[in-house]
A and B are shown apart, each in its own frame.
Chain A
Amino acid sequence: MNSLSKPIEKQHPERSAMTAPAERAGDGMAAAWMLAKREWVRFFRQRNRVTAAVVQPLLFWVLFGTGLSGAFQSAGELDFLKFFLPGTLALIVLFTAIFSTISVIEDRREGFMQAVLVAPVGRWPVLVGKVMGGAAIAWVQALFFLALVLLIGTAAPGWSLIPLLGLLALVAVAMCALGMIVAWPMESTQGFHAIMMLGLMPMWLLSGTFFPIPALGADASVGQWILGAMMRANPLSYSMVELRRLLFPQIDFSASGFSPSSPVCWAITVIATVLALMLAWRLMSGSRKVDVIV
């Protein structure tokens, strides 16, 4: 193969010494953008992921929604199909965020991450790229499902659709950041699955998605107190309350158990998102031990 010995362009070693990498935040943004774009390309090149992401929540919603509608009574004027709608949206976002961030583990095992970690841009583009890329996929998927639901006429949010989209985006970012917190120190995807079943799924279940958050009145049992307290401590519960409100603006939820005000819900969602991002950032910039798992 003679072509291998063709002359190369002359090297310019002085080029790299001139600009300080720390000053070039633009390069970091470009790198983050590229990593986010890569998430998209990879997602659409894996057909089964696309199918699973759309069909699974739909299946969940229809099966649980219709199956449990007879056994379900207490959420204001909502039947279970409607009650479960915000939960399904959260599930779509959660699942997609999990599958996007789980790829960090694969990236590391397959070696792609090594090249990213030794690049002069530093760590933050990895976090921003992964979270933004994953969140965008999750958000669009939730939108797709939402469009389907609006078409059927299960919900008619009207103008509240705009804050609804904003809230979904925020939740998507929070979920991806959470996914990164779990995935970054992991050596294997098995470990991630364990955390997912023990931590992330209960978090979803205990946010008023699947059953209403019990009211803590005088007649509440000890079990209801514990459950109610846990669900109130879960930031996702607040996002779900607001999501439900925005999906069904016609219905007054103030009388139906747990319903903090909109500003409280938004504030807690924003704070939780920021905290999750900060924690992910701390984790990624800290330990160097996980870098060399190859």
Chain B
Amino acid sequence: MTESDQPHCDTVCTVRELHHDYGDNAALRGVDFDVLAGQIFALLGPNGSGKTTLFRLLCTLLPIQRGEVRIGGFESGTQPLHVREQIGIVFQSPSLDKKLTVDENIACQGALYGIHGGELQRRRDALLEQLDLTDRRHDRCEVLSGGLKRRVELAKGMLHRPRLLLLDEPSTGLDPAARLNLWTAIRAMADDGIAVLLTTHLLEEADKADRVAIMSQGKLIADGSPHELRSEMGGGIITIVANDVVRAEQMLRDQLGLSPQRLHHQLRLQAESPATLVPALIETLGEEAQSINIGRPSLEDVFIAKTGQAFVA
């Protein structure tokens, strides 16, 4: 969280102290982050972590109750129409009219953003070409595959050249090849200077982003590049499955002075050099240990370490 403290000159989206309540339930409890131009920013969180609420607030679909959202220099709370010009949105549930063709859908989007005539033609041709949709442009959207539909959505979202592209769970319902295609397209847009913010509950997807913010219970519990976040976890993660977890935990604490984290029937340890620790573990636990695994830290480990809970998407 080094660069987020000072707003950068290329900062496209700034979120400060954002709170949101549904009646008595607090969905967001003070969220802060920045998204820079050219950056892919992933909001990772299990269901119910508040990321959908955050997404809707960023989209201007929900009114801001407390806190501040600034996008492209405009404040969401007071200038939502200006903010809407700055953002392109790809919703999780498709926003295409299935009875219309790809071309007609994009023309619809154009009309909503005041783009028509020759300008619409030019931008549409370029986007369809770029997203490899040119040969499907006269097809009705109801006959397109999930991956193609998502790409048409992307074309719609990009038509007015937003500074911030918002994607809600972009990979949901796509097969691996289509996911890869989508990511190539998203990366190309980020390389072109667009700030991309996406929500996801997929760890491997968040791993591809430039920056990941992990959400849990309405708060950001970690924020940094995937590499930074993993480095915080040390060199590796040791996972011990024991016969009696409570007893095993006690043994590790008393005899080795370690402080393992207990998760269901597992004990987890962060270590700089896990391999050197293993012999001591085997000696101490003896028959008590069923298995001892060493792994490189993943974003899931970061989540578990910060929340003490399993990441259930």
Closest Cβ of chain A: how far from B50's Cβ, in Å?
Answer: 14
For residue B273, CB closer than 8 A to chain A, the reply is no
Which A residues lie within 8 Å of B129 (CB)? 3, 6
Interface string of B191-215 (1 = CB under 8 A from A): 0111000000000000000000000
For residue B184, CB closer than 8 A to chain A, the reply is yes
Contact indicator A4/B188 (Cβ below 8 Å): yes
Interface string of A114-146 (1 = CB under 8 A from B): 111111111001000000000000000000000
Contact indicator A4/B194 (Cβ below 8 Å): no
Given contacts A120-B114, A121-B114, 13 further A-B contacts (CB under 8 A): A6-B129, A6-B188, A7-B192, A11-B163, A15-B161, A17-B82, A24-B114, A35-B108, A41-B100, A42-B99, A112-B95, A112-B96, A288-B62
Which A residues lie within 8 Å of B194 (CB)? 11
Q: Tell me the nearest residue of chain B to A294, going by C-beta.
A: B93
For residue B59, CB closer than 8 A to chain A, the reply is yes
Contact indicator A38/B97 (Cβ below 8 Å): yes
Q: Tell me the nearest residue of chain A to B160, going by C-beta.
A: A16
Q: Give 5 nearest A-B pairs by CB, closest first.
A: A34-B111, A27-B114, A119-B112, A115-B95, A120-B84
Interface string of A1-45 (1 = CB under 8 A from B): 101111111111101110011101011001101110010011001
Contact indicator A114/B132 (Cβ below 8 Å): no
Contact indicator B188/A8 (Cβ below 8 Å): yes
Contact indicator A4/B91 (Cβ below 8 Å): no
For residue B61, CB closer than 8 A to chain A, the reply is yes
Contact indicator A110/B62 (Cβ below 8 Å): no
- Please pick, from A42, A115, A122, A291, the residue contacting B89 in the complex, using a CB distance under 8 A: A115
Which B residues lie within 8 Å of A125 (CB)? 112
For residue A271, CB closer than 8 A to chain B, the reply is no
A60 and B243 alpha carbons, distance in the complex (Å): 77
Contact indicator A34/B112 (Cβ below 8 Å): yes
Contact indicator B156/A115 (Cβ below 8 Å): yes
Chain B residues with a Cβ closer than 8 Å to the other chain, count: 54
A17 and B94 alpha carbons, distance in the complex (Å): 28
Which A residues lie within 8 Å of B310 (CB)? none
Which A residues lie within 8 Å of B187 (CB)? 5
Contact indicator B188/A3 (Cβ below 8 Å): no
Contact indicator B99/A45 (Cβ below 8 Å): yes
Which A residues lie within 8 Å of B126 (CB)? 8-9
Contact indicator A5/B85 (Cβ below 8 Å): no
A20 and B109 alpha carbons, distance in the complex (Å): 19
Interface string of B155-171 (1 = CB under 8 A from A): 01000111100000000
Contact indicator B181/A1 (Cβ below 8 Å): yes
Which B residues lie within 8 Å of A34 (CB)? 107-108, 111-112
- Please pick, from A1, A10, A46, A292, the residue contacting B56 in the complex, using a CB distance under 8 A: A292
A5 and B107 alpha carbons, distance in the complex (Å): 24
A114 and B181 alpha carbons, distance in the complex (Å): 25
For residue A260, CB closer than 8 A to chain B, the reply is no
Which B residues lie within 8 Å of A9 (CB)? 123, 126
- Please pick, from B89, B104, B111, B184, the residue contacting A118 in the complex, using a CB distance under 8 A: B89
For residue A158, CB closer than 8 A to chain B, the reply is no
Contact indicator A30/B111 (Cβ below 8 Å): yes
Please list the residues of chain B having a beta carbon within 8 angstroms of any beta carbon in chain A: 56, 59-63, 72-73, 81-82, 84-87, 89, 91, 93-100, 104, 107-109, 111-114, 116, 123, 126, 129-132, 140, 156, 160-163, 181, 184-185, 187-189, 192-194
For residue A166, CB closer than 8 A to chain B, the reply is no
Closest Cβ of chain A: how far from B193's Cβ, in Å?
Answer: 6
Which A residues lie within 8 Å of B62 (CB)? 288, 291-292
Contacts A17-B73, A30-B111, A118-B84 given; indicate if A1 touches B192 (C-beta within 8 A).
Answer: no
Contact indicator B111/A41 (Cβ below 8 Å): no
A110 and B132 alpha carbons, distance in the complex (Å): 25
A255 and B104 alpha carbons, distance in the complex (Å): 55
Contacts A42-B99, A111-B93, A115-B91 given; indicate if A11 touches B192 (C-beta within 8 A).
Answer: yes
Q: Tell me the nearest residue of chain A to B123, going by C-beta.
A: A9
Closest Cβ of chain A: how far from B76's Cβ, in Å?
Answer: 12
Q: Tell me the nearest residue of chain A to B187, going by C-beta.
A: A5
Contact indicator A8/B192 (Cβ below 8 Å): yes
Contact indicator B189/A8 (Cβ below 8 Å): yes
Closest Cβ of chain A: how far from B122's Cβ, in Å?
Answer: 9
Contact indicator B111/A1 (Cβ below 8 Å): no
Contacts A41-B100, A115-B95, A122-B81 given; indicate if A4 touches B114 (C-beta within 8 A).
Answer: no
Which A residues lie within 8 Å of B104 (CB)? 38, 41
Which A residues lie within 8 Å of B156 (CB)? 115
Which A residues lie within 8 Å of B89 (CB)? 114-115, 118
Which B residues lie within 8 Å of A11 (CB)? 161, 163, 192-194
Contact indicator B192/A4 (Cβ below 8 Å): no
A–B complex contacts, Cβ < 8 Å, 8 sampled: A16-B161, A17-B72, A46-B99, A111-B91, A119-B113, A120-B81, A120-B85, A121-B113
Which B residues lie within 8 Å of A20 (CB)? 82
Contact indicator A13/B72 (Cβ below 8 Å): yes
